[in-house]
């Protein structure tokens, strides 16, 4: 027995069998005032979509925002009709716990999404056993067709994978995304769905032989966005000079955002793991990683994360922001983990970990500042720091011995007193450029602290503007200078500056001015002893925070394992 129910403009087909209600594929129609009622075409609920042809027809005939729900496993062959969202249409394919296998050996995509259309793939079962497997030749696994080749092929529309398991492959097109010569295209989002109050991230594997795993193909003009989120797990592999996620060879690149996802991306040839393909054109939009666990591997002449090896257009700057407790490990067969060589490149590590694995390197050009805001840069490989690593809010560099050029360890010698901090790592030419610096305030019974100097005999007092000379890794030792009470240039023994003499080991600090030198006449003012004419003012505080400079950092315990 069949039961047909029309509620408003929604049509539902159902059948009962031994007391069990079986939902057939459903199509929801938009309620358009004054429009004629749509024809009622309902697939037998007991059969579902028994062939790829019937599924293709459902896609073609689907009304706006239709939901097509599988009721059985289905395996197609290359000669089947094309499964394609119609122009301007929006279809949700609910795997409903079933496996759908589609294949093409021509110019068409396994599931085609024209530029003005939208496809959402999901699985609404609580056990999430649904599985979409697509394989194509010259079209994408999901996305654009190579029609119009060798002219401009159409682009692709909006692709959303929400809480589904998808395996996509293609030979010359992106596994998910555009085809060769593809035109302007839409966005790709891999995210989660919610079933019975549980959130399920997607699991996606995308592999191409001659294009990006997720993104564009050769000569394509894709400038949409890739967003990976919802605690999804994504493995993307590009072939023939293409990125794992991003651009194909000689193509443009869209925006890439990873927000709460686990990603393994591998590029080939001169391509990046995440970013541009070899010979890519145009600017590289910002790459943003928030709360992600990322492994990105580039090819023999590529980079882990970046623009990819450029042709006639020359190098393109990369803007990479890593935040939200992410762990990011870029690497490449070329040994270039991140390519920052182009002028205007930016790198920010915000409360996250950036791992430079052994055998890989990052070069920071002169004039560039890498901002490390409460994060950890783990230099298992090498960092050629011709610019600055600015560390603030507890940011640090692990394995600092692997940082060359601007890398200075300042050792603090109490020179008869006690310095509460033994040493400080500075990854800049001056303390002012380096971020947060805590100058230790040494203590010595019966003496007044006068500043830090390069020798026990004096020299030029250390300030935040002192040029540390570059080079490195190297070590500079600075010695505390002392004046006994009552001596020339020192406060009187009975002055109110007892806070500057202190007891050994008291761990007080001093705020130091950035300019000036020499010691003037001491005078008590308001309970503090000030040196008149000196720009060095000692104020008894728990720690001395200066403008610029990295705090006295030791090494964080090594993370288990290595990358």
Residue 400 phi, psi dihedral angles, 5° rounding = -65, -20
Cα separation, 224 vs 439, whole angstroms: 48
Choose the final residue of a domain: 341, 374, 405.
Answer: 405
pLDDT digits (tens, 9 = 90+) for 161-171: 999 999 999 99
**CATH number for the domain that contains residue 415:** 2.60.40.4270
Give 279 or 149, the one with higher predicted confidence: 279
Choose the final residue of a domain: 366, 381, 405.
Answer: 405
Residue 414 inside a domain? The answer is: yes
Residue 59 inside a domain? The answer is: no
pLDDT digits (tens, 9 = 90+) for 132-154: 999 999 999 999 999 875 557 88
Task: Calculate mean pLDDT across residues 370-392.
Answer: 98
Confidence band, pLDDT 50/70/90 cuts, at residue 369: very high
Q: For the ranges 365-369, 390-394, 409-413, 437-441, which has the lowest average pLDDT?
A: 437-441
Six-digit token pair at 301? 């002449």
pLDDT digits (tens, 9 = 90+) for 44-76: 333 468 999 999 999 999 999 999 999 999 999
Q: For the ranges 49-58, 234-243, 545-554, which has the lowest average pLDDT?
A: 545-554
Residue 37 inside a domain? The answer is: yes
> 113 and 250, same structural domain?
yes
Q: At residue 541, does pLDDT exceed 60?
A: no
pLDDT digits (tens, 9 = 90+) for 448-463: 999 999 999 999 999 9
pLDDT for the residue 21: 29
Cα separation, 212 vs 273, whole angstroms: 10
Beta strands in 427-516 (DSSP E): 437-439, 448-453, 474-483
> 241 and 111, same structural domain?
yes
Task: Calculate mean pLDDT across residues 26-33.
Answer: 33
pLDDT for the residue 9: 34
Share of the chain above pLDDT 70, in %: 76
Residue 562 inside a domain? The answer is: no
Confidence band, pLDDT 50/70/90 cuts, at residue 506: very low
Q: At residue 410, does pLDDT exceed 90?
A: yes
> 338 and 273, same structural domain?
yes
Q: At residue 505, does pLDDT exceed 60?
A: no
Task: Calculate mean pLDDT across residues 241-257.
Answer: 93
Q: At residue 490, does pLDDT exceed 60?
A: no
Give 484 or 548, the one with higher predicted confidence: 484
pLDDT digits (tens, 9 = 90+) for 328-368: 999 999 999 999 999 999 999 999 999 999 999 999 999 99
> 329 and 223, same structural domain?
yes
Q: Before 150, cis peptide (omega within 30)?
A: yes
Question: In 348-459, where does DSSP find H-type helix?
Answer: 431-434
> 400 and 355, same structural domain?
yes
pLDDT digits (tens, 9 = 90+) for 83-94: 999 999 999 999
> 486 and 361, same structural domain?
no
> 105 and 14, same structural domain?
no
Domain count, the chain: 3
pTM score over 0.85: no
> 489 and 389, same structural domain?
no
Choose the final residue of a domain: 405, 425, 452.
Answer: 405
Q: At residue 253, does pLDDT exceed 50?
A: yes
Task: Calculate mean pLDDT across residues 401-426.
Answer: 96
Q: What is the mean pLDDT of the chain?
A: 81
pLDDT for the residue 156: 95
Give 41 or 244, the one with higher predicted confidence: 244
> 207 and 245, same structural domain?
yes
> 451 and 372, same structural domain?
no
> 337 and 259, same structural domain?
yes
Q: At residue 17, does pLDDT exceed 80?
A: no
Residue 129 inside a domain? The answer is: yes
> 420 and 382, same structural domain?
no
Q: At residue 195, does pLDDT exceed 50?
A: yes
Residue 363 inside a domain? The answer is: yes
Angle made by CA atoms 360, 361, 363, in degrees to the nearest 5 = 165
pLDDT for the residue 284: 86
Residue 184 inside a domain? The answer is: yes
Q: Are 144 and 179 in contact (CB under 8 A)?
A: yes
Task: Calculate mean pLDDT across residues 287-298.
Answer: 98
pLDDT for the residue 311: 56
Task: Calculate mean pLDDT across residues 467-481.
Answer: 96
Q: At residue 485, does pLDDT exceed 60?
A: yes
Q: How far is CA 104 from CA 108, 122, 268, in A?
A: 7, 22, 24
Give 413 or 18, the one with higher predicted confidence: 413
pLDDT for the residue 538: 34
Containing domain of residue 15, as a range? 1-48
Q: Are 235 and 262 in contact (CB under 8 A)?
A: no
Q: Greatest CA span in the chain, whole angstroms? A: 109
Residue 559 inside a domain? The answer is: no
Cα-Cα-Cα-Cα torsion 29, 33, 34, 38, nearest 10 degrees, comes to 10
Q: At residue 403, does pLDDT exceed 60?
A: yes
Q: At residue 213, does pLDDT exceed 60?
A: yes
pLDDT for the residue 172: 97
Q: Could you give the 3-state DSSP secondary structure of residue 184?
A: coil
Nearest to 280 by CA among 347, 342, 221: 221
């Amino acid at each position: 027995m069949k039961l047909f129910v029309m509620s408003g403009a929604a049509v539902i087909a159902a059948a009962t069998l031994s007391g069990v209600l079986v939902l057939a594929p459903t199509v929801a129609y938009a309620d358009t005032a004054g429009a004629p009622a749509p024809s009622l075409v309902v697939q037998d609920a007991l059969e579902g979509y028994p062939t790829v042809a019937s599924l293709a027809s459902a896609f073609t005939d689907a009304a706006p925002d239709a939901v097509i729900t599988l009721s059985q496993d289905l395996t197609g062959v290359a000669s089947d009709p094309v499964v394609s969202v119609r122009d301007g249409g929006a279809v949700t394919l609910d795997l409903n716990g079933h496996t759908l296998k589609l294949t093409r050996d021509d110019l068409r995509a396994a599931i085609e999404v024209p530029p003005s259309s939208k496809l959402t793939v999901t699985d609404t079962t609580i056990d999430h056993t649904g599985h979409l497997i697509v394989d194509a030749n010259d079209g994408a696994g999901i996305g654009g067709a190579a029609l119009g080749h060798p002219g401009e092929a159409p682009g692709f529309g909006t692709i959303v994978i929400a809480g589904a398991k998808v395996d996509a492959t293609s030979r010359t097109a992106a596994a998910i995304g555009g085809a060769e010569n593809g035109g302007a295209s839409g966005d790709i989002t891999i995210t989660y769905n919610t079933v019975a109050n549980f959130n399920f991230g997607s699991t996606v594997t995308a592999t191409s032989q001659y294009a990006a795993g997720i993104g564009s193909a050769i000569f394509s003009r894709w400038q949409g966005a890739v967003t990976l989120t919802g605690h999804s797990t994504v493995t993307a592999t590009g072939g023939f000079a293409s990125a794992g996620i991003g651009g194909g060879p000689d193509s443009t690149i869209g925006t890439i955002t990873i927000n709460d996802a686990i990603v393994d991306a591998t590029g080939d040839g001169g391509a990046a793991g995440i970013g541009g393909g070899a010979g890519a054109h145009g600017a590289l939009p910002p790459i943003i990683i928030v709360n992600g666990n990322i492994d990105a591997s580039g090819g023999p002449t590529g980079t882990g994360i970046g623009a990819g090896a450029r042709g006639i257009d020359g190098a393109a700057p990369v803007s990479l922001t890593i935040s939200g407790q992410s762990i990011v490990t870029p690497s490449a067969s070329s040994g270039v983990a991140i390519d920052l060589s182009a002028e205007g490149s930016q790198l920010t590590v915000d409360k996250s970990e950036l791992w430079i694995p052994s055998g890989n390197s990052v070069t920071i050009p002169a004039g560039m500042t890498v901002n490390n805001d409460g994060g950890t840069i783990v230099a298992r490989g090498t960092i050629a720091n011709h610019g600055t690593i600015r560390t603030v809010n507890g940011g640090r560099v692990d394995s600092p011995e692997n940082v060359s050029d601007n890398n200075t360890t300042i050792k603090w010698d109490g020179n008869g007193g006690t310095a509460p901090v033994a040493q400080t790592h500075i990854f800049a030419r001056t303390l002012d450029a380096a971020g947060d610096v805590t100058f230790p305030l040494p203590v010595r019974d019966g003496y007044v602290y006068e500043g830090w100097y390069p020798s026990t005999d004096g020299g030029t007092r250390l300030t935040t503007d002192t040029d540390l000379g570059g080079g490195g890794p190297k070590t500079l030792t600075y010695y505390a200078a002392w004046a006994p009470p009552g001596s020339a240039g020192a406060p009187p023994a009975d002055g109110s500056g007892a806070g500057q003499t202190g007891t050994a080991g008291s761990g007080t600090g001093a705020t130091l001015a950035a300019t000036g030198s020499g010691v003037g006449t001491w005078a008590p003012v308001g309970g503090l002893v000030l040196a008149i004419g000196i720009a060095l003012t000692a104020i008894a505080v728990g720690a001395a925070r200066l403008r610029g400079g990295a705090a006295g950092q030791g090494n964080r315990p090594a993370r288990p394992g290595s990358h």
